[in-house]
Chains A and B, each alone.
Chain A
């Protein structure tokens, strides 16, 4: 008796709760109804797009371009409300992966090249070929190779947010002169000599911050590896056409880094600094050079003391003796791209596609380029005088540069995790280059067997 009364009471509470909720929902619907009918008269309906991205308004080149383009889009599409969520880079990466795992991706978002496969295989993103082909002017406005990181066969699975090198050498000309090096080394042996000379003068030859685990792989190994193996090897590995990580060329590339470590070319706390902290040693003139991507150009311009900035020159990793790669390549590419949720359809999809278009327009690219960024589209009418000295130096260098793939953008996340933590292991001397190559190959084969 007692228990049945209790159950009744609980049921009553649940029913009341449900009623209240549904009433609230009805009210909301009722409120929306008249609005919708009036919209039908105006043809343009109200659309809300959720947009999660990693452009905090921090005054960087890319965020300037982004917000400029977004504001223009809002002006042109007053019927579209954009619900934004802006996160910092690392947080964003975690968040978007979590959202994807829960099947709750926002309408518009940013993806990394390595996320394309899992997202696409799960049906969460769709190819953008139709949209691009229906507007050839849009498709042709991109720089060569911009889509490479997001192409699977013929399918294009993302609109690149920028195209930039991930491996440049920033060096202090004055320190080099002091060590008796008047010109940047022409090949790898000269480079090692230079390291020795800098070391002898009491400088840290290369400052590096590999706490995030990606720096040594993205900014050094991707280009250095290409010098040894040539790009064909990488394409063969990526497409699983026979090449192996245990091939002697790739092992030699790992050995070259190992050799630098043994020469004590790096600061001893390389694995506990991050890439922002690595530059401090350079700014304090304790280190002669550092390896980082194009993004560092605007950072150095803003952060470095004037004398260091004036002495800073740019170079790329010199050719290695006997290497199969071309001497003028640099690892680089888009890395990240805009994409829309595969679930979108109808007017909502059109609005989202229009947003992608706006985010690769001149309004997006020009402010970015003028601030020293690297837009993915060709920009013709920009103000050259706005470029910083370092950005101009890069424009000079870029004339001869050809991009080759960055490992962590194009290989699977599993292989990359093994490679990246393995590189940390190798730097602290707990694993040999040969062993590391084997470990990477093991993970690579394990994935293929699944």
Chain B
């Protein structure tokens, strides 16, 4: 009886978990298995399927467009790790100081974009980048920096950076909340002691906050990699992978193959490829960061 108060019986656990687990199996595991199966077929949708074994995978390995989109994914991921987590960290550190006023307000404003739909954000930023009516060029013109004006979403050399900016902007709030939560669990005494010892501002950030947040930062980096390996909707709305293939990402490439070129078999192969590559990169990053420290 007493034991039951603290630890419910296992059947209660199973009972509560059954539905979500079933749901998870249905929406995540099943599609995954189906994708694995489809990736072995030449399939244009519909009842006619032709088994081709691993030849889709052989094609994927030789597919330069796929590797180009993988490269773009990696660029976006790196930019987002630096941009999202970096900026969120700086902001979180600022939030612990007394210099910053209206912290509630700032937190809300920074978090707001997180809850907006990616499609809306993509659309808004397309308008902002617009050459004729976009606010970005208008601002540049107004402050006399006309020479910096570029066709932001048309130049293949910069388009990948242009599409990363809204992505970074949107999710700063997300990482800010994670880091803030972790910061608040640091005992106040440590900061007070640091202040007495004369460690303020920059020093405090480097010697106290950074090491204490290391684990949270690692988790954030992993979340960031996982999120950006499958980035799709922003790119879809802003450029559709264009111009040409210069802002193509893997998910967009899978979508194009499946639903524009009617190659659902190959599209599934690409999604399996995305899965493998993301897992590989996450494992690699864990190795690089030294895994769990405890």
Contacts and interface: CB of A to CB of B under 8 A. Distances in A.
Interface of A: 2-3, 6, 10, 94, 97-98, 100-103, 118-119, 121-124, 211-213, 267-273, 280-281, 413-414, 417, 421-422, 424-428, 430-431, 450
B173 to A, nearest CB: 27
B154 A123 contact: no
A414 B244 contact: no
A263 B287 CA distance: 53
B30 interface: no
Interface in B214-266: 239-246, 256, 258-264
Which 8 A-B pairs give the minimum distances between C-beta atoms?
A: A122-B46, A101-B45, A425-B244, A271-B243, A272-B153, A269-B131, A424-B244, A414-B261
Interface residues of B, number: 38
Given A121-B44, A122-B47, A213-B242, 20 more contacts: A97-B259, A97-B262, A118-B46, A121-B46, A122-B46, A123-B47, A269-B131, A269-B132, A269-B151, A271-B153, A272-B239, A413-B261, A414-B261, A417-B260, A421-B244, A421-B245, A425-B245, A426-B244, A428-B156, A430-B246
28 contacts: A2-B9, A6-B15, A94-B259, A97-B45, A98-B259, A122-B47, A123-B48, A124-B46, A211-B239, A268-B151, A269-B151, A269-B154, A270-B154, A272-B131, A272-B153, A272-B239, A280-B132, A413-B260, A414-B261, A421-B241, A421-B245, A422-B244, A428-B156, A430-B156, A430-B244, A430-B246, A431-B244, A450-B42
Most buried by A among B11, B240, B244: B244
A428 B246 contact: yes
Among A270, A272, A428, find the residue whose CB has the most chain B CB atoms closer than 10 A: A272
B242 A271 contact: yes
A272 B130 contact: yes
Contact of A122 (B45, B151, B246): B45
Interface in B15-63: 15, 18, 42, 44-48
A418 to B, nearest CB: 8
B240 A428 contact: no
B129 interface: yes
B126 interface: yes
A213 B262 contact: no
Contact of A414 (B129, B262, B264): B262
A366 to B, nearest CB: 35
Nearest to B258: A101
B141 to A, nearest CB: 15
A365 to B, nearest CB: 31
Contact of B263 (A414, A427, A431): A414
Interface string B151-168: 111111000000000000
